[in-house]
Amino acid sequence: MAYWPRYANNQTTFNLQPNHLQPSTKPPSTFNQTTFNLQPNHLQPSSKPPSTFKQTTFNLQPKNLQPNHLQPNYQKTFNQTTKPPSTFRQTTFNLIMTHILHIDASPRGDRSISRQLSNRFIQTWKSFYPDDTVSYRDLGHNPVPHVDEKWIAAAFCPPEKRTPELVEAIKLSDTLVDELLAADRYVFGIPMYNLNVPSTFKAYIDQIVRVNRTFTFDQTGKYHGLVPQGKKMLIFTARGGSFSPGTPSADYDYQEPFLRAIFGVLGITDITFIHAEKLDLGEESRQQSLANARAELEKAVGTW
Protein backbone atom coordinates (compact mmCIF):
# COMPACT_ATOMS: atom_id res chain seq x y z
CA MET A 1 0.00 0.00 0.00
CA ALA A 2 1.37 3.41 -0.95
CA TYR A 3 1.05 6.50 1.21
CA TRP A 4 1.85 9.74 -0.59
CA PRO A 5 3.61 12.85 0.73
CA ARG A 6 1.29 15.84 0.98
CA TYR A 7 2.49 19.37 0.25
CA ALA A 8 1.96 22.32 2.60
CA ASN A 9 3.55 24.22 5.46
CA ASN A 10 5.90 22.05 7.48
CA GLN A 11 9.18 21.60 5.67
CA THR A 12 10.89 18.20 5.56
CA THR A 13 14.20 17.41 3.87
CA PHE A 14 14.88 14.15 2.02
CA ASN A 15 18.16 12.84 0.67
CA LEU A 16 17.60 11.55 -2.85
CA GLN A 17 19.92 9.41 -4.94
CA PRO A 18 20.57 11.27 -8.21
CA ASN A 19 20.38 8.16 -10.38
CA HIS A 20 16.76 7.69 -9.28
CA LEU A 21 15.72 11.21 -10.20
CA GLN A 22 15.30 10.25 -13.83
CA PRO A 23 11.97 8.96 -15.17
CA SER A 24 11.81 5.20 -14.92
CA THR A 25 9.34 4.83 -17.80
CA LYS A 26 8.13 6.90 -20.69
CA PRO A 27 5.66 9.42 -19.19
CA PRO A 28 2.07 9.82 -20.42
CA SER A 29 1.02 13.11 -21.94
CA THR A 30 0.54 14.89 -18.63
CA PHE A 31 2.51 12.89 -16.05
CA ASN A 32 6.08 11.75 -15.75
CA GLN A 33 6.81 8.84 -13.47
CA THR A 34 9.80 9.35 -11.23
CA THR A 35 11.24 7.05 -8.61
CA PHE A 36 12.94 8.35 -5.48
CA ASN A 37 14.80 6.55 -2.72
CA LEU A 38 13.72 8.14 0.53
CA GLN A 39 15.14 7.80 4.02
CA PRO A 40 12.28 6.31 6.06
CA ASN A 41 13.22 8.27 9.17
CA HIS A 42 12.13 11.41 7.37
CA LEU A 43 8.82 9.85 6.40
CA GLN A 44 8.30 8.26 9.80
CA PRO A 45 10.21 10.27 12.44
CA SER A 46 9.03 8.00 15.25
CA SER A 47 10.24 4.74 13.75
CA LYS A 48 13.80 3.46 13.49
CA PRO A 49 15.12 3.73 9.92
CA PRO A 50 16.30 0.48 8.39
CA SER A 51 19.81 0.14 7.03
CA THR A 52 18.65 0.56 3.45
CA PHE A 53 16.55 3.16 1.70
CA LYS A 54 12.88 2.83 0.89
CA GLN A 55 12.03 3.23 -2.78
CA THR A 56 8.87 5.19 -3.53
CA THR A 57 7.43 6.09 -6.90
CA PHE A 58 5.56 9.35 -7.51
CA ASN A 59 3.55 10.48 -10.50
CA LEU A 60 4.24 14.19 -10.80
CA GLN A 61 2.69 16.74 -13.12
CA PRO A 62 5.64 18.66 -14.58
CA LYS A 63 3.92 22.01 -14.14
CA ASN A 64 3.47 21.22 -10.45
CA LEU A 65 7.20 21.30 -9.92
CA GLN A 66 7.04 25.07 -10.22
CA PRO A 67 6.53 27.19 -7.08
CA ASN A 68 2.94 28.14 -6.19
CA HIS A 69 1.42 25.30 -8.25
CA LEU A 70 1.50 22.41 -5.78
CA GLN A 71 -0.60 24.35 -3.31
CA PRO A 72 -1.81 27.80 -4.52
CA ASN A 73 -1.99 29.20 -1.00
CA TYR A 74 1.68 28.70 -0.22
CA GLN A 75 4.56 30.82 -1.45
CA LYS A 76 7.16 28.09 -1.68
CA THR A 77 6.25 24.46 -2.11
CA PHE A 78 9.19 22.78 -3.83
CA ASN A 79 12.80 23.74 -3.16
CA GLN A 80 15.87 22.03 -4.54
CA THR A 81 19.48 22.81 -3.72
CA THR A 82 21.63 23.68 -6.72
CA LYS A 83 24.82 21.98 -5.53
CA PRO A 84 24.17 18.42 -4.32
CA PRO A 85 26.72 16.54 -2.21
CA SER A 86 28.90 14.00 -3.96
CA THR A 87 26.54 11.10 -3.38
CA PHE A 88 23.11 12.56 -2.67
CA ARG A 89 21.10 15.47 -3.88
CA GLN A 90 19.26 17.23 -1.08
CA THR A 91 15.69 18.13 -1.92
CA THR A 92 13.19 19.84 0.33
CA PHE A 93 9.47 19.10 0.26
CA ASN A 94 6.79 20.89 2.21
CA LEU A 95 4.41 18.32 3.71
CA ILE A 96 0.80 18.99 4.64
CA MET A 97 -0.15 18.88 8.30
CA THR A 98 -3.82 18.00 8.59
CA HIS A 99 -6.10 18.56 11.57
CA ILE A 100 -8.73 15.85 12.06
CA LEU A 101 -11.89 16.02 14.16
CA HIS A 102 -12.58 12.50 15.47
CA ILE A 103 -15.99 11.76 16.99
CA ASP A 104 -17.46 8.56 18.41
CA ALA A 105 -21.20 8.34 19.00
CA SER A 106 -21.66 4.85 20.46
CA PRO A 107 -22.50 4.53 24.17
CA ARG A 108 -20.60 1.24 24.18
CA GLY A 109 -16.95 1.08 25.12
CA ASP A 110 -14.54 -1.51 23.73
CA ARG A 111 -17.42 -3.63 22.41
CA SER A 112 -18.48 -0.89 20.00
CA ILE A 113 -17.67 -1.83 16.39
CA SER A 114 -17.96 1.75 15.08
CA ARG A 115 -15.65 2.91 17.87
CA GLN A 116 -13.15 0.13 17.11
CA LEU A 117 -13.06 1.04 13.42
CA SER A 118 -12.74 4.81 13.87
CA ASN A 119 -9.97 4.38 16.44
CA ARG A 120 -8.15 1.85 14.28
CA PHE A 121 -8.23 4.27 11.37
CA ILE A 122 -6.88 7.18 13.45
CA GLN A 123 -4.08 5.03 14.91
CA THR A 124 -3.06 3.79 11.47
CA TRP A 125 -3.30 7.26 9.96
CA LYS A 126 -1.12 8.73 12.72
CA SER A 127 1.51 6.04 12.17
CA PHE A 128 1.96 7.31 8.63
CA TYR A 129 1.30 11.00 9.30
CA PRO A 130 2.63 11.60 12.82
CA ASP A 131 2.63 15.38 12.42
CA ASP A 132 -1.12 15.48 11.87
CA THR A 133 -3.22 16.61 14.83
CA VAL A 134 -6.47 15.15 16.14
CA SER A 135 -9.25 16.59 18.29
CA TYR A 136 -11.42 13.92 19.88
CA ARG A 137 -14.98 14.14 21.15
CA ASP A 138 -16.76 11.16 22.68
CA LEU A 139 -20.48 11.82 22.29
CA GLY A 140 -21.39 8.32 23.38
CA HIS A 141 -19.90 8.76 26.85
CA ASN A 142 -20.10 12.55 27.09
CA PRO A 143 -23.24 13.58 25.20
CA VAL A 144 -24.04 17.18 24.41
CA PRO A 145 -27.43 18.52 25.53
CA HIS A 146 -30.41 18.87 23.27
CA VAL A 147 -31.35 22.38 22.25
CA ASP A 148 -33.82 24.18 24.49
CA GLU A 149 -35.76 27.46 24.44
CA LYS A 150 -32.83 29.57 25.65
CA TRP A 151 -30.57 28.03 23.02
CA ILE A 152 -33.06 28.88 20.26
CA ALA A 153 -33.41 32.45 21.53
CA ALA A 154 -29.62 32.86 21.56
CA ALA A 155 -29.09 31.27 18.13
CA PHE A 156 -31.49 33.71 16.48
CA CYS A 157 -30.35 36.76 18.42
CA PRO A 158 -27.53 38.97 17.02
CA PRO A 159 -24.37 38.27 19.10
CA GLU A 160 -24.04 41.90 20.17
CA LYS A 161 -27.57 41.87 21.63
CA ARG A 162 -27.31 38.66 23.66
CA THR A 163 -27.72 38.88 27.39
CA PRO A 164 -25.20 37.06 29.62
CA GLU A 165 -27.80 34.35 30.02
CA LEU A 166 -28.10 33.85 26.25
CA VAL A 167 -24.32 33.93 25.82
CA GLU A 168 -24.05 31.07 28.30
CA ALA A 169 -26.90 29.17 26.60
CA ILE A 170 -25.09 29.18 23.24
CA LYS A 171 -21.52 28.82 24.56
CA LEU A 172 -21.16 25.06 23.99
CA SER A 173 -22.66 25.33 20.52
CA ASP A 174 -20.13 28.03 19.64
CA THR A 175 -17.33 25.75 20.83
CA LEU A 176 -18.62 22.84 18.75
CA VAL A 177 -18.98 25.03 15.65
CA ASP A 178 -15.48 26.45 16.08
CA GLU A 179 -14.18 22.88 16.45
CA LEU A 180 -15.94 21.82 13.25
CA LEU A 181 -14.67 24.79 11.24
CA ALA A 182 -11.09 24.39 12.50
CA ALA A 183 -10.78 20.80 11.25
CA ASP A 184 -9.53 19.88 7.79
CA ARG A 185 -11.02 16.39 7.88
CA TYR A 186 -13.54 14.45 9.91
CA VAL A 187 -13.56 10.83 11.12
CA PHE A 188 -16.81 9.72 12.74
CA GLY A 189 -17.85 6.40 14.27
CA ILE A 190 -21.66 6.21 14.24
CA PRO A 191 -23.73 3.09 14.90
CA MET A 192 -27.14 2.70 13.30
CA TYR A 193 -29.98 2.96 15.79
CA ASN A 194 -33.51 2.36 14.53
CA LEU A 195 -32.52 2.98 10.89
CA ASN A 196 -30.74 6.28 11.64
CA VAL A 197 -28.17 7.89 13.93
CA PRO A 198 -28.22 7.68 17.75
CA SER A 199 -29.95 10.53 19.56
CA THR A 200 -26.55 11.60 20.95
CA PHE A 201 -25.33 12.34 17.44
CA LYS A 202 -28.59 14.02 16.46
CA ALA A 203 -28.15 16.33 19.47
CA TYR A 204 -24.66 17.15 18.18
CA ILE A 205 -26.06 17.86 14.70
CA ASP A 206 -28.60 20.27 16.20
CA GLN A 207 -25.80 22.09 18.02
CA ILE A 208 -23.65 22.66 14.92
CA VAL A 209 -26.28 23.38 12.25
CA ARG A 210 -26.45 27.11 12.84
CA VAL A 211 -27.78 29.70 10.42
CA ASN A 212 -25.15 32.33 9.56
CA ARG A 213 -22.48 30.22 11.22
CA THR A 214 -22.38 26.94 9.33
CA PHE A 215 -24.98 27.59 6.64
CA THR A 216 -27.17 30.25 5.13
CA PHE A 217 -29.91 30.35 2.50
CA ASP A 218 -31.06 32.69 -0.23
CA GLN A 219 -34.49 34.06 -1.14
CA THR A 220 -35.30 30.95 -3.16
CA GLY A 221 -34.72 28.78 -0.10
CA LYS A 222 -31.53 27.24 -1.44
CA TYR A 223 -28.96 26.33 1.21
CA HIS A 224 -25.39 27.56 1.06
CA GLY A 225 -22.81 25.91 3.31
CA LEU A 226 -20.40 28.11 5.23
CA VAL A 227 -17.88 25.36 5.96
CA PRO A 228 -14.87 26.08 3.71
CA GLN A 229 -14.64 23.91 0.62
CA GLY A 230 -12.24 21.01 0.23
CA LYS A 231 -12.89 19.24 3.54
CA LYS A 232 -13.36 15.48 3.67
CA MET A 233 -15.38 13.25 5.94
CA LEU A 234 -15.00 9.52 6.66
CA ILE A 235 -17.83 7.80 8.52
CA PHE A 236 -17.71 4.30 9.99
CA THR A 237 -21.08 2.74 10.77
CA ALA A 238 -22.09 -0.47 12.54
CA ARG A 239 -25.36 -2.14 11.55
CA GLY A 240 -27.08 -5.30 12.64
CA GLY A 241 -28.69 -5.94 9.24
CA SER A 242 -27.77 -5.34 5.64
CA PHE A 243 -28.82 -2.11 3.97
CA SER A 244 -26.59 -2.14 0.90
CA PRO A 245 -28.15 -1.25 -2.47
CA GLY A 246 -30.06 -4.20 -3.88
CA THR A 247 -30.81 -5.81 -0.51
CA PRO A 248 -34.39 -6.12 0.82
CA SER A 249 -33.69 -3.52 3.53
CA ALA A 250 -31.94 -0.96 1.33
CA ASP A 251 -34.92 1.41 1.37
CA TYR A 252 -34.84 1.48 5.17
CA ASP A 253 -31.40 3.08 5.34
CA TYR A 254 -32.14 6.59 6.60
CA GLN A 255 -28.72 6.93 8.18
CA GLU A 256 -26.40 7.50 5.21
CA PRO A 257 -28.85 9.69 3.24
CA PHE A 258 -29.50 11.84 6.32
CA LEU A 259 -25.80 12.33 7.06
CA ARG A 260 -25.02 13.17 3.43
CA ALA A 261 -27.90 15.64 3.33
CA ILE A 262 -27.25 17.45 6.60
CA PHE A 263 -23.50 17.82 6.13
CA GLY A 264 -24.15 18.80 2.51
CA VAL A 265 -26.19 21.71 3.84
CA LEU A 266 -23.05 22.83 5.69
CA GLY A 267 -20.92 22.48 2.56
CA ILE A 268 -19.25 19.13 3.29
CA THR A 269 -19.97 16.92 0.29
CA ASP A 270 -16.84 14.73 0.03
CA ILE A 271 -18.08 11.98 2.34
CA THR A 272 -16.92 8.36 2.39
CA PHE A 273 -18.82 5.64 4.24
CA ILE A 274 -17.43 2.33 5.47
CA HIS A 275 -20.25 0.14 6.74
CA ALA A 276 -19.82 -2.86 9.02
CA GLU A 277 -23.11 -4.65 8.28
CA LYS A 278 -24.76 -8.01 9.00
CA LEU A 279 -23.42 -7.95 12.55
CA ASP A 280 -26.55 -9.72 13.84
CA LEU A 281 -26.98 -12.15 10.92
CA GLY A 282 -24.84 -15.01 12.15
CA GLU A 283 -21.19 -15.37 13.08
CA GLU A 284 -19.96 -16.13 9.57
CA SER A 285 -21.67 -13.07 8.08
CA ARG A 286 -20.47 -10.95 10.97
CA GLN A 287 -16.83 -11.95 10.60
CA GLN A 288 -16.88 -11.52 6.83
CA SER A 289 -18.40 -8.06 7.14
CA LEU A 290 -15.83 -7.02 9.75
CA ALA A 291 -13.01 -8.30 7.53
CA ASN A 292 -14.40 -6.30 4.60
CA ALA A 293 -14.70 -3.15 6.71
CA ARG A 294 -11.13 -3.49 7.97
CA ALA A 295 -9.86 -4.00 4.42
CA GLU A 296 -11.70 -0.85 3.30
CA LEU A 297 -10.24 0.99 6.29
CA GLU A 298 -6.67 0.03 5.38
CA LYS A 299 -7.28 1.09 1.78
CA ALA A 300 -8.74 4.42 2.91
CA VAL A 301 -5.56 5.28 4.81
CA GLY A 302 -3.74 5.39 1.48
CA THR A 303 -6.43 6.98 -0.66
CA TRP A 304 -8.43 9.35 1.57
Same structural domain, 91 and 141: no
In a domain, 89, yes or no: yes
Please, which residues have CB within 8 angstroms of residue 8's CB and are 6 or more apart in sequence? 71, 74, 77, 94, 95, 96, 97
State the residue range of the domain holding 202.
Answer: 99-303
Same structural domain, 197 and 209: yes
Same structural domain, 71 and 145: no
Same structural domain, 81 and 126: no
- Give the per-residue pLDDT at 93: 52
Predicted confidence (pLDDT) per residue in 13-53, tens digit: 444 444 444 444 444 444 444 444 443 333 433 333 333 33
CATH code (residue 194) = 3.40.50.360
Predicted confidence (pLDDT) per residue in 145-189, tens digit: 999 999 999 999 999 999 999 999 999 999 999 999 999 999 999
Give the end of a domain, one of 95, 122, 143. 95
Residue 229 has pLDDT above 80, yes or no: yes
**Count of H helices and E strands in the chain?**
7, 12
In a domain, 173, yes or no: yes
Give the end of a domain, one of 67, 95, 123. 95
Same structural domain, 64 and 32: yes
In a domain, 49, yes or no: yes
Q: 122-130 long-range contacts, Cβ below 8 Å, gap at least 24?
A: 122/187, 124/297, 124/298, 124/301, 125/100, 125/301, 127/44, 128/3, 128/44, 128/301, 129/3, 129/6, 129/98, 130/44, 130/45, 130/46
- Give the per-residue pLDDT at 5: 46
In a domain, 295, yes or no: yes
Same structural domain, 220 and 287: yes
Q: Please state the domain count of the chain.
A: 2
In a domain, 2, yes or no: no
Predicted confidence (pLDDT) per residue in 192-227, tens digit: 999 999 999 999 999 999 999 999 999 999 999 999
What's phi and psi for 253, nearest 5 deg? -80, 100
Same structural domain, 208 and 280: yes
Are 270 and 231 in contact, with CB atoms under 8 Å apart?
yes
- Give the per-residue pLDDT at 94: 55
- Report residue 109's pLDDT band, with 50, 70 and 90 as the boundaries: very high
Higher pLDDT, 93 or 295: 295
In a domain, 1, yes or no: no
Give the end of a domain, one of 61, 79, 95. 95
Residue 11 has pLDDT above 90, yes or no: no
Residue 258 has pLDDT above 70, yes or no: yes
Give the mean pLDDT of 71-100. Answer: 52
